[in-house]
Amino acid sequence: MSKPLDPRLLRYARGVRTLLIGSVAVASGTAVLVVAQAFCLGDVVSRVFLEGATLDDVKTVVGILTLVVLGRAVLASIGETLAQRAATRTSAQLREALLAHVVRLGPIWLSGERRGQVATLATRGVDSVEPYVARYLPSLVIAVIVPLTVGVAILTQDFVAAVIVAVTAPLIPVFMALIGMYTQTATAKQWNTLGVLSGHFLDVVSGLPTLKAFGRERAQSQRMAEIDKRYRTATMGVLRISFLSSFVLELLATISVAVVAVSIGVRMLDGGLTLRTGLTVLILAPEVYLPIRAVGAQFHAAADGIDAAEQVFAIIGTEPAITGTRTDVPTGDVVVDDVTVTYPGADVVSLAPVSLTLRAGRITAVVGPSGVGKSTLLATLQGFVAPTSGTVTVGGVDLTTLDPEAWRSRLGVVGQDPVLVGPTVGDDVRLRRPHATDAEVDTALRAAGIDPSTLPDGAASRVGDLASDVSAGQRRRVALARVLLDPPPLVMLDEPTAGLDDATEIDVVDAIRRLADAGAAVVVVAHRPSLVQGADEIVELDPVAVVA
């Protein structure tokens, strides 16, 4: 079982703090009312049964009892509303913190499988924190405050019962922890086998068209039944163990109440206890165990949330590639000096030593076969990757000491496979300059080789409507239009003319030339001769060597 409350949750989710304070207040009030309810009931029953009291005689106590019930209802209602509200806020705050940090970590960190993982974590994962906050945390607070208060109340009434409760109640968390330790591996395995089973189902269902193409769909049905059975048997074996902890919890709680009841009954026979005391203690005893049981019951619903929160914190704890803080970015040449890049955990160099200088007004073409590290070089220049060796300097200042956001505000980038964020093509072009006029946007689009009149609704065409039809080439041109709308000092283009016909290619090459002539330093990753010929300087990247 993991830590009940991760301190990092308090730091990143302010909603949790408010909730905890509110829960303490609600739990304390509830504890007092629970005790009051037991005293009222014990008093009324005892007086009516043994002293011949009429309804009129006990009307004050019954009146108090009514108020107590009302009070408990109001408190429960407030507590629940608070908890629900805090849960919604917490998931929002966690999502915000997670995504803000993911933005700092950048696209290289996010590439590959991580993208899917982060997408799931930022949506369903973070949402699963809600039951943890709404149910588990408040029940935890109640489980501390109510049993203690009720225990003290029992102590004032009956020493023997107080001792029974004081011995057994703390045993529950102890036993739970012991069994928890024993079953931890089993429980982890349970989620694992259940996950494997639905993962396998998804795998087979996704591959059904492929299976059908080879006439294998029937054979697989048979196999699925077998696998299902095997996992079910394994899961049941695990459940037998992992249900043990709640079994012990329930057993201890009810046996203790039974022991208290019998002990009261036997001592009353000797005249050692009054009915009033006996009944009061009998009503109080289960209230000690109820909140502890509730924690156990909520734990399973909370487990996913705890897991998700831990994943969020693990990501937030990851250092970005560049952590510089200097915001006054110097002007001047960008000098790449003997830079190599090896991604963490990779046994292959992604970029062999390269040196080049980017100057204002000049176009530098970077060429080399696939996989030579051209995109890695661009990522390094954007500050998404730190050089493994060598340095990148800007006007003599090391890039890694610069504030990444300040540095990137000087860049214009057209990636190999740009993403249109929309909602309209125009919005996308305006990304760098939200208040550009329609005319400016149209000009930029035209300069990038897109005639707005060929789009269904001009620049106001929705990106989503085009998405399936917009080829990577067209998306690159929209991204180029972004840069042309607001030309930055340093422009990077990754194969900007791939997939274009010759006429459009000439337009794009011209646009790039104009960017340089206007004073931008331009770096182009290129295969195509037309681009390479137009460059002022050509840098050939060496094929990378595999490190043993």
Partner 1 sequence: MTTVDVKVARGVSPVRRLVPWVATEWKRLALAVFLGTMAIGCGVGLLAVSAWLISSAALRPPIFELNLAIVGVRAFGIGRGCFRYAERLVSHDAAFRALSRLRLAVYDRLAVVAPAGVPAYRRGDLLERLVRDVDATQDLPLRVLVPYASGAIVAIMSVVLAFFILPAAGVVLLVSLLLAATVVPWITSASAAEAERASAPARGELNGDVLTLLDGIGDLTTAGAAQAWLDRLAEDDRHIGRLAERRSRASGLASGLGILLSGGAVVVTLLVAIPAVRSGALVGVNLAVLALLPLATYEAVVAMPTAALALGRVRGSAQRVVEVLDAVDPVPDPESPVAAPVGVVGVRLAGVSSGWPGGEHVLQGLDLDVAPGGRVGVVGSSGVGKSTLLAVLAGFLPYDGSVRLGDVEMHDMTGHDVRSVVGWCPQLPHVFDTSVVENVRLAKPGASDEECRVALDAVGLGPWLDAAPQGLATPVGDHGALVSAGQRQRLGVARVLLAGHPVVLLDEPTEHLDESTADVVAAELLRALEGRTVLWVAHRPHGLASLDRIVRLT
Site residues for partner 1, 403-442, by CB under 8 A, read 405, 408-409, 411-413, 415, 418-422, 431-432, 434
- Please give the torsion angle defined by the CA atoms of residues 358, 362, 363 and 368, in that order, rounded to the nearest 10 degrees: -40
- Which of residues 258 and 338 has its CB atom nearest to partner 1 in the complex? 258
Give start and end residues of each alpha helix (H) in 270-316: 275-316
Per-residue DSSP letters for 336-396?
Answer: EEEEEEE-TT-SBEEEEEEEEEE-TT-EEEEE--TTSSHHHHHHHHTTSS--SEEEEEETT
3 binds partner 1 (CB under 8 A): no
Maximal CA-CA distance, the chain: 111
Closer of 263 and 364 to partner 1 (Cβ):
263
SS (H, E, C) 32-75: HHHHHHHHHHHHHHHHHHHHCCCCCCCHHHHHHHHHHHHHHHHH
Among 217, 307, 337, 465, binds partner 1 (CB under 8 A): 217
What would the two tokens of residue 239 be?
A: 């459940």
Min separation Cβ 103 and partner 1, Å: 5
Using CB under 8 A as the binding rule, whether residue 9 contacts partner 1 is answered as no
Q: Which stretch binds partner 1 (CB under 8 A): 48-56, 162-170, 178-186, 310-318?
A: 48-56
Q: Which pair of tokens denotes residue 423?
A: 């909602």
Q: Is 388 in the site for partner 1 (CB under 8 A)?
A: no
Residue whose CB is less far from partner 1, 238 or 356: 238
Q: Is 62 in the site for partner 1 (CB under 8 A)?
A: yes
Kindly tell me which of 87 and 339 has the beta carbon lying closer to partner 1: 87
Among residues 177, 208, 346, 518, which is the contact residue for partner 1, using CB under 8 A? 208
Residue closer to partner 1, measured from CB, 387 or 473: 473
In terms of CB distance, is 159 or 536 closer to partner 1?
159
Query: 141: buried, middle or exposed (CB in 10 Å: 19+, 13-18, 0-12)?
Result: buried
Candidates 10, 11, 21, 70: give the one binding partner 1 (CB under 8 A).
70
**Minimum distance from CB of 335 to partner 1 (Å)?**
20
Binds partner 1 by CB under 8 A, chosen from 20, 166, 186, 259: 259
- AA letter at 526: A
490-494: strand order across its sheet: 411-414, 490-494, 521-525, 363-367, 537-540
Q: Any contact of residue 113 with partner 1 (CB under 8 A)?
A: yes
513 contributes a contact to partner 1 by CB under 8 A: no
Q: Which of 144, 224, 352, 506 binds partner 1 (CB under 8 A)?
A: 224
| Per-position x/- string for 227-256, each x denoting binding to partner 1 as judged by CB under 8 A, each - no binding | -xx--x--xx--xx--xx-xxxxxxxxxxx
Least distance to partner 1, CB of residue 18, Å:
13
231 vs 310, beta carbon nearer partner 1: 231
Per-residue DSSP letters for 499-531?
T--HHHHHHHHHHHHHHHHTT-EEEEE--SHHH
Taking the complex as a whole, the smallest distance from the CB of residue 96 to partner 1 amounts, in Å, to 6
Q: Which stretch binds partner 1 (CB under 8 A): 62-70, 140-148, 440-448, 516-524?
A: 62-70
| x-or-dash string of contact with partner 1, 335-374, rule CB under 8 A | ----------------------------------xx----
189 contacts partner 1 (rule: CB under 8 A): no
CB of 363 to partner 1, least distance (A): 19
Residue 112 within binding range of partner 1, rule CB under 8 A: yes
Contact between 42 and 276 under an 8 Å Cβ cutoff? The reply is yes
CA gap 86, 92 in Å, rounded: 10
Minimum separation from the CB atom of position 3 to partner 1 (A): 26
Nearest C-alpha neighbor of 515 from the set 546, 538, 485, 478: 485
The site map against partner 1 for 86-105 (x = CB under 8 A) is --xx-xx--xx--xx-xx--
Q: Does 275 bind partner 1 (CB under 8 A)?
A: yes
Q: Which of residues 281-340 bind partner 1 (CB under 8 A)?
A: 282-283, 286
Does residue 66 touch partner 1 according to CB under 8 A? yes
Distance of CA 476 to the CA centre of its chain: 31
- Are 508 and 448 spatial neighbours (Cβ–Cβ below 8 Å)? yes
Q: Is residue 184 close enough to count as binding partner 1 by CB under 8 A?
A: no
Query: Least CB distance from residue 397 to partner 1, whole Å?
Result: 20
Q: By CB under 8 A, tell whether 210 contacts partner 1.
A: yes
The binder of partner 1 chosen from 7, 174, 214, 328 (CB under 8 A): 214
Q: How far apart are CA 426 and CA 335, in angstroms?
A: 35
Cis link prior to 423 (omega < 30° from 0)? yes
Contact with partner 1 (CB under 8 A): which of 79, 151, 291, 426?
79
The residue written with tokens 């102590």 in the block is: 155
CA pair distance 279, 357, nearest whole angstrom:
88
Which residue's CB is nearer to partner 1, number 30 or number 340? 30
Give the nearest distance from C-beta 164 to partner 1 in angstroms: 12
- What is the Cα–Cα distance from 306 to 290, expressed in whole angstroms? 23
Q: By rule CB under 8 A, what count of residues binds partner 1?
A: 139
Question: Could you give the CA distance from residue 490 to residue 333 in angstroms, rounded to a whole number?
Answer: 10
CA distance 255 to 382: 66
Interaction between residue 20 and partner 1 (CB under 8 A): no
Q: Provide the b/e sequence for 440-468 (b: ≥16 CB within 10 Å).
A: bbbbbbbbbbbebeebeebbebbbebbee
- Rounded to whole angstroms, the Cα distance separating 139 from 118 reads 30
